């Protein structure tokens, strides 16, 4: 029986077009222990949209006392809502109304703030609340029990819906918790259903500490799409701590997921508990050893991977790589994107790296241009009866 080589026949749910959102300005910057200027936040948010981001998460509307990185949240979102930027989008051929701007609103007070901003004409299109399947991790993030939080989320989703704001329900610790370890995939599927049952618009399925492995990602998203078979309702959020997240992205694609997100340079992680020269609350003690290796999958590498698979994504890849290189100057250190340094695999290659003299040697030996084997050899290789390791036994 012949092997099937067509990837899309082997994995019939696998998409040919995906949406890749960016959450650099929110998740990426929340991890930094220095204040990122308001101008920089606005610059990167706008440039990412102009480069092709259709879903972008830019602010956290929680208390600035806990996460002071976002004390300028209203200024940032106001700039994205301004007429000047809308004109830039129009000039660039981008339909501004197709761009979904998201704010994180973990607790009800933040949801209320998002609604106030919406009433002022500068609010987000989409907000986000989060549950963890591990009660300990959930409590560390929100300060509530899961039962308390579900009631709060139900109330908030109704408020947001009435205000014309979509609510994304994030389900975290799907593949494991940094606090209590192993978790059950079945719980995460049930939590996804719970969010949708109380009116959530979509679900972000999150690995927040790099626990996910490719086989379990494929298993989980297959379970999700069996139970909730609308791919547009699901978003894959993966952290990169062991250099295996790209394998998990491939597994999610194979299962049928068509929405992903990342950050420039793989920034992000747990909210910082130090900002500039002062300790801040954040979400408490860090649960990682080295803050350089805990962010999301890098947006640049993710887009290049998707691009080279021939899957439609909507980004200007060269512009995105340029923005990624700029981000290293803003952050002040080498980030984790390899594509920023090595670029894309070009089909036309790099002729400038060729060693001179090959054409001259071909003429001297009277070979044909493009000849790959000696002229007297058969066109197709003929294997002996025994070959390879078997011939040596």
Q: Indicate whether 355 and 211 sit together in one domain.
A: no
Task: Please state, in angstroms and as integers, the Cα–Cα distance from residue 181 to each residue in 98, 176, 206, 324, following that order.
Answer: 39, 5, 15, 33
DSSP state for residue 17 in the 8-state scheme: B
HSE-CB for 195 with a 13 A CA cutoff: 28
Q: Indicate whether 107 and 213 sit together in one domain.
A: yes
| Per-residue pLDDT tens digits for 359-368 | 999 999 999 9
Does 1 reside within a domain? no
Mean pLDDT score, 13-24: 98
pLDDT of amino acid 108: 97
Q: Indicate whether 185 and 124 sit together in one domain.
A: yes
pLDDT of amino acid 237: 97
pLDDT of amino acid 143: 92
Range of the domain at 384: 351-392
DSSP state for residue 92 in the 8-state scheme: T
Does 2 reside within a domain? no
What tokens appear for 300 in the block?
């640049």
- Total structural domains within the chain: 2
pLDDT of amino acid 239: 93
240 contacts 27 by C-beta, under 8 angstroms:
no
Q: Indicate whether 239 and 335 sit together in one domain.
A: yes
Q: Indicate whether 337 and 358 sit together in one domain.
A: no
204 contacts 158 by C-beta, under 8 angstroms:
no
Does 242 reside within a domain? yes
What tokens appear for 368 in the block?
């044909």
Does 107 reside within a domain? yes
Does 210 reside within a domain? yes
Helices vs strands, H then E, count in the chain: 15, 10
Q: Indicate whether 297 and 183 sit together in one domain.
A: yes
Average pLDDT along the chain: 95
151 contacts 111 by C-beta, under 8 angstroms:
no
Task: Please state, in angstroms and as integers, the Cα–Cα distance from residue 144 to each residue in 89, 136, 169, 350, following that order.
Answer: 41, 10, 16, 56
| Per-residue pLDDT tens digits for 283-323 | 888 878 887 788 999 999 999 999 999 999 999 999 999 99
DSSP state for residue 28 in the 8-state scheme: I
pLDDT at 80 over 90: yes
pTM: 0.94
Q: Indicate whether 250 and 375 sit together in one domain.
A: no
Q: Indicate whether 118 and 198 sit together in one domain.
A: yes
Mean pLDDT score, 59-72: 94
Q: Indicate whether 372 and 271 sit together in one domain.
A: no
| Per-residue pLDDT tens digits for 321-367 | 999 999 999 999 999 999 999 998 988 888 999 999 999 999 999 99
Does 363 reside within a domain? yes
Q: Indicate whether 172 and 306 sit together in one domain.
A: yes
Does 190 reside within a domain? yes
pLDDT of amino acid 25: 98
User: Of 305, 320, 342, which residue is a domain's last?
Assistant: 342
Q: Indicate whether 306 and 380 sit together in one domain.
A: no
Portion of the chain with pLDDT greater than 90, in percent: 89
Residue 177, domain CATH: 3.20.20.70
Does 141 reside within a domain? yes
Mean pLDDT score, 257-261: 98
Q: Indicate whether 358 and 263 sit together in one domain.
A: no
């Amino acid at each position: 029986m012949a092997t099937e080589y067509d990837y899309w026949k082997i994995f019939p749910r696998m998409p040919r077009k995906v949406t890749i959102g960016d959450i650099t300005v929110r998740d990426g910057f929340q991890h930094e222990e220095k204040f990122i200027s308001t101008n920089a936040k606005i610059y990167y948010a706008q440039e990412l949209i102009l480069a092709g981001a259709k879903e972008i998460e830019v602010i956290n509307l929680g208390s600035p006392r806990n996460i002071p990185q976002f004390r300028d949240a209203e200024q940032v979102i106001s700039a994205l809502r301004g007429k000047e930027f809308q004109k830039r989008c129009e000039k660039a051929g981008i339909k501004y109304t197709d761009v979904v701007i998201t704010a994180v609103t973990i607790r009800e007070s933040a949801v209320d703030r998002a609604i106030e901003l919406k009433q002022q004409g500068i609010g987000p299109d989409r907000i986000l609340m989060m549950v963890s399947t591990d009660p300990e991790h959930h409590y560390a993030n929100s300060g509530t029990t899961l039962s308390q939080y579900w009631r709060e989320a139900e109330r908030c989703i109704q408020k947001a819906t009435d205000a014309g704001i979509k609510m994304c329900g994030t389900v975290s610790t799907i593949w494991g918790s940094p606090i209590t370890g192993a978790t059950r995939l079945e719980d995460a599927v049930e939590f996804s259903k719970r969010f949708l049952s109380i009116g959530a618009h979509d679900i972000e399925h999150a690995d927040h500490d790099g626990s996910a492995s490719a086989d379990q990602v494929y298993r989980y998203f297959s379970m999700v799409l069996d139970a909730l078979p609308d791919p547009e309702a699901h978003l894959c959020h993966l952290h990169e701590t062991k250099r295996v997240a790209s394998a998990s992205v491939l597994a999610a694609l194979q299962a049928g997921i068509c929405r992903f997100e990342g950050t420039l340079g793989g920034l992000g992680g747990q909210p910082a508990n130090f900002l500039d020269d002062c300790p801040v609350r954040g979400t408490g003690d860090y649960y990682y050893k080295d803050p350089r290796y805990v962010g999301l999958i890098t947006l640049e590498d993710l887009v290049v991977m998707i691009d080279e698979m021939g899957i439609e994504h909507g980004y200007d890849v060269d512009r995105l790589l340029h923005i990624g290189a700029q981000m290293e100057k803003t952050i002040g250190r080498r980030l984790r994107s390899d594509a920023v340094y090595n670029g894309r695999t070009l089909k036309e290659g790099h002729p400038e790296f060729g060693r001179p003299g090959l054409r001259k040697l071909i003429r001297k030996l009277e070979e044909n241009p493009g000849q790959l084997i000696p002229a007297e050899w058969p066109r197709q290789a003929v294997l002996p009866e025994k070959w390879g390791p078997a011939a040596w036994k």
